[in-house]
Amino acid sequence: MMGGSFGVSQPATAAALRRRSVIAVLHLTLLLPTVGVSGQSVGSPLDCHKTCVCASNIVSCSKMNLTNVPLALPKYTAVLDLSFNSITRLRAEWTPDHLSRLHSLLLSNNGLTFLSSEAFIYVTKLRYLDLSSNGLRILDEFIFEPLEHLEVLLLYNNHISQIDRTAFSGLDRLQRLYLSQNSITRFPLELVKERSRLETLKLLDVSSNRIKSLPLYELQVLPAWIKNGLYFHNNSLSCSCDLYDMVARWYLKELSSATDFKSSHTCVIPGQRKEKMAILDLDKAYLNCSEVKTLDEEAYLEQFLVLDCDTRQRDMVKRWALPGNIPLSPANKTAVMRSDGNLQIGPLRLEDSGVYTCYATSDSLNETLYVTVVVFNATTAGGLENLKTAYTTLVACLVSIVMVLIYLYLTPCRCATCPGQGLEKSDARESLHSSTVSLSQAHEETPQEKAEGGGFPYRHMAFRDPKDQMEQNGRLNPIGEEDEEWQGDSSERRRSDAESVSSVCSDTPMVV
């Protein structure tokens, strides 16, 4: 009811305003006893003099000990800053009106533990939502779904251990998602994996959580522009040479996620002592992992190769140059640039060996990638390999034929005695069969596979533009700033008792 009486107060004269505020105070005094009992579930009306600063479309009520969102916010509010208060619950009715111009909502440092599933239905134009440094534990299904315009979502430094699989669905324009310093135990691959990923997401920060293993193969095949913003340092990953291999390759490619936090990329040595170790040192000590070096693209005569121009930024304009820095001409039939920016060369001749260069440009960044191609004389190495593969395929084929015969002629008798065995037999036959198929396929795919993800063929040189760094580290709460915050302020990092309770829960698998 107070919301109504104040909604119309905007154009009123000063005198009328004063009268109304007297009424409001009356309302307040009447309300106070009940409010005290009910835990102050209703906020007081917006006061642009005492509790908030209102500057045209900005309403700032930071550090005012508010326990509720002020009521009757002007409809034209674009920025609402409620950080550093004590708003522990964000209910559905926190704004009864549509705030259709609100693009930034700041609720960090409030001790928030509850988000209504309808908390955001009246603020669908939000582009920036800060829920960091609160006490959130669970992200429910479809919780952010109304926020189809949201670009930045800050959830770091909460106690999140459970994320519903659908929690981030509907965030079609989300670019940056900060989930660091929570209690997440599973890497949310769904957010970046092809087909299910949030299409515009270019930064996902799950650093400083409790993730023990990463889906290494799936991460390795992602395009560089996703990996560049995929921060996963300071988790409790267990050490392995595969992990070393991946991080070392990201480091060689100068991906920000690997280079910016080099010293925080640690893993835990399996065993009793749970010793921590720098991932990039795994080749030198302990595991003796084989060192990662930049790989050349190797191929044989008459084969085709696809050279990937895998840039760290999305949607760049790409241009290729042939060995000797000869610009690629559209008339060239051997080397053709495909619509995805990759270069297909072949059928290969010995003289196609050399360094191919991809120049990628965009407004904020220029990148140059080099791919060294080595073409072998097929009659030496290639011929042998082809023969070997053909032989293996032949043997596998024969074996499967024999297995089919065994299945056909021997199983009926066994089936009569034991029905379970017949089933097992057919399973074995199937898996053998599929392995022969995949063997021959794998061979055919070799050149392409090599180009599209298996190896990292680049000697990578990139010209980083200071402008780009500024944009990335600009006002939209960059990763650097966030890290400073949790490195600098140790009191904030201290875990409360409540948190240690959540550590018990955190072993339950995270539903993403």
Ligand X SMILES: *[C@@H]1O[C@H](CO)[C@@H](O)[C@H](O)[C@H]1NC(C)=O
Instruction: Give the binding site for ligand X (CB under 6 A).
Output: 64-65, 208, 234, 264, 287-288, 322, 329, 332, 334-335, 345, 350-352, 361, 364-366, 377, 379-380, 465, 493
Q: How far is the CB of 56 from ligand X (least distance, A)?
A: 23
- DSSP-based three-state secondary structure for 498: helix
> Three-class SS string for 359-381?
EEECCCCEEEEEEEEEEECHHHH
For 73, residues 6+ apart whose C-beta sits below 8 A from its C-beta are 46, 59, 80, 95, 97, 99
Q: In terms of CB distance, is 400 or 477 closer to ligand X? A: 477
User: Is there a contact between 451 and 306 (Cβ–Cβ < 8 Å)?
Assistant: yes
Q: How far is the CB of 254 from ligand X (least distance, A)?
A: 16
**Residue type for position 31:** L
For 382, residues 6+ apart whose C-beta sits below 8 A from its C-beta are 300, 301, 303, 376
Q: How far is the CB of 122 from ligand X (least distance, A)?
A: 27
For 475, residues 6+ apart whose C-beta sits below 8 A from its C-beta are none
**Residue type for position 72:** A
Q: In terms of CB distance, is 103 or 265 closer to ligand X? A: 265
* The two structure tokens encoding residue 88: 């522990």
Q: In terms of CB distance, is 71 or 365 closer to ligand X? A: 365
For 367, residues 6+ apart whose C-beta sits below 8 A from its C-beta are 311, 312, 313, 316, 359, 360, 361, 462, 463
Q: In terms of CB distance, is 388 or 493 closer to ligand X? A: 493
Run of H or E including 139: strand 138-139
Q: In terms of CB distance, is 122 or 356 closer to ligand X? A: 356
Q: In terms of CB distance, is 288 or 434 closer to ligand X? A: 288
User: Is there a contact between 95 and 122 (Cβ–Cβ < 8 Å)?
Assistant: yes
Q: In terms of CB distance, is 13 or 65 closer to ligand X? A: 65
Q: How far is the CB of 384 from ligand X (least distance, A)?
A: 12
Residue from 41, 1, 54 nearest 24 by CA: 1
Q: In terms of CB distance, is 235 or 400 closer to ligand X? A: 235
Q: How far is the CB of 421 from ligand X (least distance, A)?
A: 42
Q: How far is the CB of 75 from ligand X (least distance, A)?
A: 27
Q: How far is the CB of 435 from ligand X (least distance, A)?
A: 30
Q: In terms of CB distance, is 82 or 345 closer to ligand X? A: 345
Edge-to-edge order in the sheet of strand 335-337:
305-307, 343-345, 335-337
Run of H or E including 392: helix 383-417
Q: How far is the CB of 307 from ligand X (least distance, A)?
A: 10
Q: How far is the CB of 208 from ligand X (least distance, A)?
A: 4
